[in-house]
Amino acid sequence: GLETMDNIKVEVALKKIRGMLDAQAIPTLEYWIEPSRNKDVRVACITHAHLLYIFKNYDYDDLDYRAISIIMSSQVFLTINHRFSTKIYDDLQDRASPTQPPPSIQLAQSEVFDVIQTHRYNVLRFIRERPKEGDMAMEAVVRIATGTGTREQADQELKERHWQSIGHKTCYGRFVPDTEDENLRDGSYRKPKPGQTYEQWMLQVTTKAVGIEVNIQLSDFTLQNHKMALLDQQVMEDRDFSETRIQALRNASDVACAEVMHTTNRYWWRLVGRRYDVL
């Protein structure tokens, strides 16, 4: 018959593997993505995907500040800088195959989404129960998302901020610092005013000025009221943009941007971390 699994041996092996990941793999991967060392967004996306994947089978009791800050910053970085595909991928047979993940991050997209979904509640619980470390993790997300530093590289000259979820039942998981408008933080901006039409209320809640926000539910990062995302693929492939893309952006296949202004006849994006605007 089949031998019963030796739980003690499994636990010892698990601790040994996690010890190697903690002591060797994570520091090496984070070394590769330091902004001062790596300028290749493609490589950074691969590295962040693997950092995130390390914590796939962690339970809540296994998580600490380092784990939470990596999970948060990596998922936000991927949301901003990686163009997830909605198409079934198989480069040989034109049909779904779990053995053929998208080549850009070398992991199946479903695995990345599974890790994010699995730990969403754990992240929110950790921030609620350990707010001091939650604040530090939020600041790490800001540095990684904007390319202004590393996960651990905190600026001692900056005033410490406390982050909290917007105080409205429909906004749980949307975190803003205490430097934001009080009406935004307590969620009162979402309350309709007397005599206000639905159209007026919708305009009010969708155009409310947000200096900075980290959305744990959607893995979004918003800066100066503009959600950071990848520049539209049609713009990347446009002939008028090709020279800039080749010379200034090192022929990058994707680049992160933030919307500055959209009007009827004009779109205006600012490329994140680069001295270029696209109109």
Residue 237 confidence (pLDDT) above 60: yes
Report the percent of the chain where pLDDT is more than 90: 29
Q: How far apart are CA 220 and CA 197, in angstroms?
A: 29
pLDDT at position 94 is 47
Contact status, residue 214 vs residue 140, Cβ threshold 8 Å = no
Q: How far is CA 149 from the centre of its chain?
A: 15
**Please, are residues 43 and 257 in contact by the beta-carbon 8 Å criterion?**
no
CA 105 to chain centre: 15
Identity (one letter) of the amino acid at 157? E
> β-strand 256-262 against 267-271: which pairing, if any?
antiparallel
- Higher model confidence: residue 233 or residue 72? 72
Q: Which segment, 46-50, 190-194, 262-266, is predicted with the most confidence on average?
A: 46-50
pLDDT band of residue 93 (cuts 50, 70, 90) is very low
Measured CA to CA, the distance from residue 279 to residue 266 in angstroms comes to 7
Instruction: List own/partner pairs for 184-192 with CB under 8 A and 24 or more apart.
Output: 184/208, 184/209, 184/210
Do the beta carbons of residue 30 and residue 67 sit within 8 Å?
Answer: no
Residue-wise pLDDT tens digits, 169-184: 888 898 988 877 676 7
Q: Which residue has the tokens 């998981």?
A: 173
**Which candidate, 100, 48, 106, 108, places its Cα nearest to that of 79?**
48
Reduced to 3 states (helix: H, G, I; strand: E, B; else coil), residue 201 is helix
Instruction: Name every residue whose Cβ is closer than 8 Å to that of residue 113 and which is 6 or more positions away in sequence.
Output: none
> CA 249, 254, 258, 264 torsion: positive or negative?
positive
Per-residue pLDDT, 91: 46
How far apart are the C-alpha atoms of 190 and 201, rounded to whole Å? 8
- At 114-132, the pLDDT tens digits run 999 999 999 999 999 999 9
